[in-house]
Amino acid sequence: MTTNAELFERSARIIPGGVDSPVRAFGSVGGVPRFIASASGATVTDVEGRQYIDLVGSWGPALLGHAEPHVVAAVQEAAARGLSFGAPIEGEAELAELVAARVERAGVRPVERLRFVSTGTEATMTAIRLMRGATGRDLIVKFSGLYHGHSDSLLVDAGSGLATFGLPASAGVTAATSAQTIVLPYNDLDAVRRVFDERGDDIAGIIVEAAAANMGVVAPLPGFNAGIIDIAHAHGALVTYDEVLTGFRVSECGWWGLENADAAEPYRPDLMTFGKVIGGGMPIAAVGGRAGVMDLLAPVGPVYQAGTLSGNPLAIAGGITTLRLADATVYERVDAASAALRDAIGEALDAAGVAHRIQTAGSLFSIAFGEHDGPLTDYAQVRASETWRYAPFFHALLDQGVAAPPSAYEAWFVSAAHDAEIVDRIAAALPRAAAAAAE
């Protein structure tokens, strides 16, 4: 039998850090990452044959649980007809229509056009280019601790892996590029107003996670998302609302749908980005939005964007099948599992005397250790929390067969396959983990 340790050593000899995406390396929690051989429903199984209850969910896509049989069958059927053609296929319009139709509240449909790409990084990178192309301006506003993928202009003061490893920015991003990204504290509308008052004529747009979930979970304060749209529009700038992580995970209609559930006049971002759940585990993402902006894309307009594998038949099949299956009952199950799990975590930590706050945005959640007066609202507060308690907590869970995200700065993901029995099994592992966090 090959062990995780052997594979990690072998991988590290040829792949930097032994992984193809940094947070997978267990860098902030220590130890050897598990090399996964297979996954099914709520569990993953490593190369040593050990099964874990999975709370990573491929970092978001696995809304229905792993290897959902209909999704697997659809991808297999598509594969048998050919892997990639580099030509349009019927399913692209179907998946685009499915995505666009879901993002609807009170007759408002912000997604009038949609283009598929292969990763969330490409989607946000294209959105930035579109905002610049549409306005003829250079500056972009983003928020501290929010992550939008790894394109140069969006890596400044970003969350996810950069937060995990405590990096303010990435080497290799030029000073000129960084200078075109203005970083503001999240949830601070006054800061947005001030920067637009000073430099509004030069700002192409704002990019914001629909609800921040890459510095742990930090929900937007009421009025924040709508407020930044008002401010940007008053200065002729645009807003990209990044739902790569939240889209079709926190509700059938994403975070936008949750925030606008009862709104008579839903706010309307100019562009939205999607990824993760829209492929159900296949590599696909999308940028969508107002026709007037989206039609600037080549071949209709002057903003260039392309992709060899964009809209490839396997990813489209995975996406269509996933979204068709992701109905109201799926979200009820995911919400119920998340709520039960949060309760169990809170009880275990309270019983062990560990001060904490469970941060939520819909079914997404994370744990901020330490005393906090109320919900944490920005990156500075998250960084000031007792993140060192996370590593022992994480390892005590892992030792008992529960795989939480290997970083305090990542959201926990549950799926429709996380039923009451799975939640009970996690709950049984929590007292030992809470005791470890208490030390």
Determine the straight-line distance between the first and last CA of the chain, rounded to whole angstroms. Answer: 35
Residue nearest to ligand PLP (CB): 120
Residues in 213-272 that interact with ligand PLP by CB under 6 A: 214, 242, 244-245
52 is catalytic: no
- Among 124, 225, 310, 322, the residue binding ligand PLP under the rule CB under 6 A is 124
Q: How far is CA 198 from CA 136, 192, 363, 413, in A?
A: 18, 10, 38, 40
Binding mask 387-416 for ligand PLP (x = CB under 6 A): ------------------------------
CA distance 228 to 239: 8
- Among 147, 186, 196, 331, the residue binding ligand PLP under the rule CB under 6 A is 147
Coil, strand or helix: which one is 128? helix
- Among 131, 285, 364, 423, the residue binding ligand PLP under the rule CB under 6 A is 285
Minimum CB distance to ligand PLP smaller for 63 or for 423: 63
CA distance 162 to 144: 11
| CB-based burial label for 298 (10 Å; 0-12, 13-18, 19+) | exposed
CA distance 124 to 240: 8
Residues in 30-89 that interact with ligand PLP by CB under 6 A: 59
When asked if residue 208 is in the footprint of ligand PLP (CB under 6 A), the reply is no
142 is catalytic: no
- Site size with ligand PLP, rule: CB under 6 A: 16
CA distance 405 to 55: 6
CB of 340 to ligand PLP, least distance (A): 25
Element (H, E) at 272: strand 271-274
Minimum CB distance to ligand PLP smaller for 124 or for 377: 124
What single string gives the DSSP state of each residue in 345-365?
HHHHHHHTT--EEEEEETTEE
Residues 6+ apart with CB under 8 A from 173: 152, 153, 155, 156
User: Quick one: CA torsion of 317, 337, 362, 100, rounded to 10 degrees?
Assistant: 20
Minimum CB distance to ligand PLP smaller for 149 or for 205: 149
Binding part of the chain for ligand PLP, among 2-10, 92-100, 146-154, 343-351 by CB under 6 A, reads 146-154
CA distance 78 to 96: 18
In DSSP terms, which residues pair with 207 in a beta bridge?
Answer: 240
Which residue among the candidates 46, 152, 267, 276 is catalytic per the annotation?
Answer: 276
CB of 146 to ligand PLP, least distance (A): 7
Residues in 104-123 that interact with ligand PLP by CB under 6 A: 119-121
CB of 169 to ligand PLP, least distance (A): 17
- Among 18, 22, 65, 149, the residue binding ligand PLP under the rule CB under 6 A is 149
276 is catalytic: yes
Minimum CB distance to ligand PLP smaller for 288 or for 434: 288
Q: Rule CB under 6 A: which residues touch ligand PLP?
A: 59, 119-121, 124, 147-149, 160, 209, 214, 242, 244-245, 275, 285
Catalytic residue annotation: 147, 242, 276
